[in-house]
Amino acid sequence: MALMARQELLSLISRCLEGKERAWEEFLDRYARLIWATAHRCGVSGEEAEEVFQRAWVVIVEGLGELRNPDGIVGWIVSITRHQSWRLMEENRRHRRPLEAEGETEAEDSLPQEEELLRREGGLLLHRAMDQLQRRCRRLLQLLFFVEPRPDYSVISEELDLAVGSIGPIRARCLAKLKKYYLRLYQGGEKGDS
């Protein structure tokens, strides 16, 4: 993170922790889109996305003072939002009644719900697989695929202390590991990177 941007971020966090309303508004303006985009990438939309946004915002407000590395704030917000998305999807899964109990028996009525369920469960498995990656690999993939707008390679290089030319090959290795972990989870296993 560039020195000026880092100083601005530290100042913003400090003002938020002092309880300055304008600082919180600025913080929200800066990171709201990231929260929404992360929730949508996890497979939640509509009212569920609003619920995830509210839950994530509460955790962010309560935990901002505990943030140990302000340079990692984007990853911290993404992680919080992903966990809130997963938690909501898990709550919904546990409370979902069988289709027959709701009187829905026609195949065309159940097909979109089944597709939606498969999409969400696939998203959950993807994020669980991401959690099994080593920190640098996980962060690289977050920056490349989960952060809006996607940062330039020079920014990624600086944040992860990588040569710009090595990002592509490392990305390929990280994606291969992610695929391996995803398939293992899909088939019922749990073991990841150590």
How is residue 150 annotated by DSSP? P
Give buried/exposed letters for 53-87 (b at 16+ CB in 10 A, else e): bebbbebbeeebeeeeeeebbbbbbbbbbbbbbbe
More confident residue, 114 or 54: 54
Q: Is the pLDDT of residue 105 over 50?
A: no
Same domain, 89 and 158: no
Which residue segment(s) compose the domain that 188 sits in?
A: 114-194
84/149 same-domain check: no
Inside any domain, residue 107: no
177 domain residue, yes or no: yes
Q: What proportion of the chain, given as a percentage, has pLDDT over 90? A: 23
CATH assignment at residue 144: 1.10.10.10
Q: What is the DSSP letter of 72?
A: G
Residues 49 and 134 in one domain: no
| Statement: residue 90 has pLDDT above 60 | yes
Residue pair 133/192 in contact (Cβ under 8 Å)? The answer is yes
For residue 61, the domain's CATH number is: 1.10.1740.10
**How confident is the model at residue 182, as a pLDDT?**
81
Label residue 12 by pLDDT band (50, 70, 90): very high
Q: What is the pLDDT of residues 55-79, one digit of tens each?
A: 999 999 989 988 888 888 999 999 9
Is position 71 within any domain?
yes
Q: Are residues 118 and 192 located together in one domain of the fold?
A: yes
Tell me the pLDDT of the chain averaged across its residues.
80
Q: Mean pLDDT throughout 132-161?
A: 85
Instruction: Look at residue 110 and tell me whether its pLDDT is greater than 50.
Output: no
Phi-psi sector, 152: left (phi>0), alpha (psi -120 to 50), beta? beta
Count structural domains, the chain.
2
Indicate the SS3 state at residue 105: coil
